[in-house]
Structure 1
Amino acid sequence: MRNLKVLGAPSLYVQGPGALGELGALIAAHLVPDAPRRVLLVTDALMAPTLGGRIAPLLEAQGLAFSTLSFEGDVTQTTAQRLARAARAFAPDLVVAAGGGKGVDMGKAVAHALGLRLVTLPTAASQDGATSRVFVLYDDGHRLARVDRLARNPEIVLVDTQILAAAPAALLVSGIGDALVKRFEAAQCVGADGPNMFGARATLAASALAELCDRVLRAHAVDALAAAEAKTPDAAFEKVVEACFLLAGLGFEGAGLSIAHAMTRGLTAVPETSGALHGCQVAYALLVQFLLERRSKDFMHEQFSFYRKVGLPICLKDFGVAAPRADLLGTIARLTHDAPHTRNFERALTAEDIADAMERLEGLSVIAPARAA
């Protein structure tokens, strides 16, 4: 499909306060005439008791059998296979993947292993995976092992903003970071005639959605974070949540990725940065991408100012790396250079180019605005 334009999307996207209450009716109505009779919830161990108790009556009211599988730790192939084996005894027709990034990705991995359709129910706006068919698997050392794909996007994406507002505000910071990079990665990928996540070319719609995502975040992110701190979803919160899930998700999958996401290969491979939230990793990596794009100092300081307002990292020191070593920079740069998305850039890069941009970013950040408390 390399010479074709392709845009993929979930069949149904539903967002708003109290949306969870519609889950049973949506599954029963949207998936007819072959509606499932047995629904499996996959989520992390922390969310399982609360979510299971709320979801069970909604599904049972529609005549749907229900079971839950939970997990702890990273989304690894070993854990996904274990859950898939356990699920076969229940013989589900549909998987509901619930939680933050890990819960949604694990649900995708189980649905993929069983060949089942998927509904996603994010409980934190920490990243945009809920709308896409893409999921990430890690190894036992929390290093990114590989990216896999479902045969199709989720059937339903159900975003209850009351649930999201109850999550720690730091998770929304991560979601803003993950969404923020999409406009600039899309521009690089399209400019380099690189493939999107379907191995095809971007539609005008996908690029426009990525650009709109950036505009929404710049206008409303600060107010949305205030709403998150107050645990009260308001108009700004709703707009930013839509940007973090729908606009960013369709934008990245339909228009492609570049340096910012390529750097997760390196940032997850070193202990100093591997534990950081995905959105914080890629937001930092976007600043490296900007320097590789040869952006001006004035532009960089505009970015620093916005990053500080929303609490995103602008340098390795913000991850707790007091004095970045040459070997640390070299490892991150080498693994980034080897990542496929690095080819979606305006010119060919070397690992040395990437390491140099990281080092220059540390220098520029010294005169950046102070980090928010």
Structure 2
Amino acid sequence: MATNLIVRGAPQEYELKTAAWQDLPKHLERRNLRKVMIIHGETSWQAVKGYFPDLSAYETSFYYYGKDCTDEAADHFAKLATEDQAEALIAVGGGKVADLTKLTAYRLNLPVIILPTLAATCAAYTPLSVVYNHEGVMLRYDIFPKATDLVLIDPQVLLESPYELMVAGIGDTLAKWYESDAIISQLAVKPLEIQVAEFAAKKCRDILLAESSAALQAMKEKQLNQAFIDIIETNILLAGMVGGFGDEYGRTSGAHSIHDALTVLPDSHKQLHGNKVAYGILVQLMIEQKVSEIRQLLPFYHQLGLPTNLQDMSLDLTEKDYQQVAERAAAPDEMIHFMKETITPEVIIQAMRDLETLTTDAWS
């Protein structure tokens, strides 16, 4: 477990309001920025470009980000930004777009501004990037010593984002409580920073369980409500605060280690990040022998359509697959070892199998 604690509490500026994106020129002017490079998604860009403000008074270049946040992609965009003489990078998209833009900006020591098109992760809020290889296998987290300069969130934009991505985001954010609690509960003394992280993590769980249904109904009806705004800020702001104040005590433990391990299976790439994390929560709870907690969560999972087992993710693992996943999850540098339990591949395989039995029997 980490012995040092560095607080990376928030972006330098964060604003959520309807039409927030239209204030981008004002923010650029305040920062004396004239040349900007915009890195964006593909499908998301087509859906949201009508919300993007007029930047005709600025020198701009627009680039599709590709597919993943990789070292090679960051090198590529760093070269383009240098050629364009960009003074700042702007991410318009989901978590991978945000992560790639942050990684690129860090290499160039440039300001980074993020306009999220999804509320599926806290990537817009946190000064870190999850880096993958070209096969989609997660390699590492890079944590940066500088916060994101500006986050502008327009809830109307997010209201029109894909429903299934919001569900996955809820699954991902729900892990904030279970993963941080597995670590923080071991502490005899909780510094104030840790207490803030713990508070934010518990609020994540409580708000998600109470308001997700109403927020998702808002998406179906294309009508903003307070529950939707609460879920947006839970997935982005509150979730970001957990790791921001808790550092390694508030980032990941069991659930994300299971997610990361599943990425070694090509068939798992069809599943959204948050869905695999949601499954990882249940595996973690099984390792902790918290079966009653799993049973309490199952109705919520089924209501939202989150996966409760491998079958729900259309994954049929062979013995070799189980071993490969378990060995990756139990690798010495994995954060699953922040849990108090002794973690071995055998422990993970048993938990995965027990979860299959429990969830199949419970809902057969």
TM-score by length of 2: 0.91
- Structure 2 counterpart of 1:358: 352
State the Cα distance separating 1:224 from its structure 2 match.
Answer: 0.7
Q: Write the mapping of 1:139-154 to structure 2, written as runs, cut at 5 A.
A: 139-154=133-148
Q: CA–CA distance in 2 between the matches of 1:135 and 1:233?
A: 30
Q: CA–CA distance in 1 between the matches of 2:28 and 2:345?
A: 48
Q: CA–CA distance in 2 between the matches of 1:346 and 1:312?
A: 27
8 Å contact 1:94–1:118 — kept in the other structure? yes
8 Å contact 1:43–1:106 — kept in the other structure? no
Q: CA–CA distance in 2 between the matches of 1:226 and 1:56?
A: 29
8 Å contact 1:5–1:201 — kept in the other structure? no
Partner AA of 2:39 in structure 1: V
Partner AA of 2:226 in structure 1: A
- Structure 1 counterpart of 2:35: 38
Are 2:150 and 1:159 equivalent residues in the alignment? Answer: no
1:135-176 deviation digits (Å, cap 9, x = unpaired) = 112111111122212321211111111111111100100110
8 Å contact 2:105–2:112 — kept in the other structure? yes
Secondary structure of 2:361's counterpart equals coil
2:274 to 269, 275, 279: 279
- Structure 1 unmatched runs, 5+: 194-199
State the Cα distance separating 1:369 from its structure 2 match.
Answer: 4.1
Q: CA–CA distance in 2 between the matches of 1:250 and 1:130?
A: 12
8 Å contact 2:8–2:147 — kept in the other structure? no
1:330-353 deviation digits (Å, cap 9, x = unpaired) = 111110111431121112211110
State the Cα distance separating 1:226 from its structure 2 match.
Answer: 1.1
CA change 1:49–1:4 in 2 (3 A) is closer
- Structure 2 counterpart of 1:127: 121
State the Cα distance separating 1:256 from its structure 2 match.
Answer: 2.6
CA change 1:131–1:80 in 2 (3 A) is same
Q: Write the mapping of 1:216-295 to structure 2, written as runs, cut at 5 A.
A: 216-253=207-244, 254=246, 255-295=250-290
Partner AA of 1:278 in structure 2: H
Partner AA of 1:327 in structure 2: K
State the Cα distance separating 1:6 from its structure 2 match.
Answer: 2.5
- Structure 1 counterpart of 2:29: 28
Secondary structure of 2:80's counterpart equals helix
- Structure 2 unmatched runs, 5+: none
8 Å contact 1:7–1:202 — kept in the other structure? no
CA change 1:50–1:290 in 2 (3 A) is closer
State the Cα distance separating 1:183 from its structure 2 match.
Answer: 0.8
Partner AA of 1:246 in structure 2: L
Q: CA–CA distance in 1 between the matches of 2:13 and 2:293?
A: 38
Identity %: 29
Q: CA–CA distance in 2 between the matches of 1:201 and 1:325?
A: 46
- Structure 2 counterpart of 1:97: 91
State the Cα distance separating 1:210 from its structure 2 match.
Answer: 0.9
Secondary structure of 1:131's counterpart equals coil
Q: CA–CA distance in 1 between the matches of 2:228 and 2:354?
A: 34
State the Cα distance separating 1:86 from its structure 2 match.
Answer: 1.3
State the Cα distance separating 1:368 from its structure 2 match.
Answer: 3.3
Partner AA of 1:131 in structure 2: Y
CA change 1:43–1:272 in 2 (3 A) is same
Q: CA–CA distance in 2 between the matches of 1:318 and 1:53?
A: 36
CA change 1:369–1:13 in 2 (3 A) is farther
State the Cα distance separating 1:203 from its structure 2 match.
Answer: 2.7
- Structure 2 counterpart of 1:169: 163
8 Å contact 1:16–1:238 — kept in the other structure? no
1:328 to 318, 321, 331: 321
1:41-63 deviation digits (Å, cap 9, x = unpaired) = 11123344665665451x44xx5
8 Å contact 1:126–1:175 — kept in the other structure? yes
Q: CA–CA distance in 2 between the matches of 1:154 and 1:234?
A: 28
- Structure 2 counterpart of 1:337: 330
Secondary structure of 2:121's counterpart equals coil
How many residue pairs end up in the alignment? Answer: 356
8 Å contact 1:42–1:95 — kept in the other structure? yes
Q: CA–CA distance in 1 between the matches of 2:4 and 2:267?
A: 41
TM-score by length of 1: 0.89
Secondary structure of 1:347's counterpart equals coil
CA change 1:80–1:52 in 2 (3 A) is farther
State the Cα distance separating 1:367 from its structure 2 match.
Answer: 2.8
Please give the root-mean-square deviation of Cα atoms over the aligned residues, in Å: 2.2
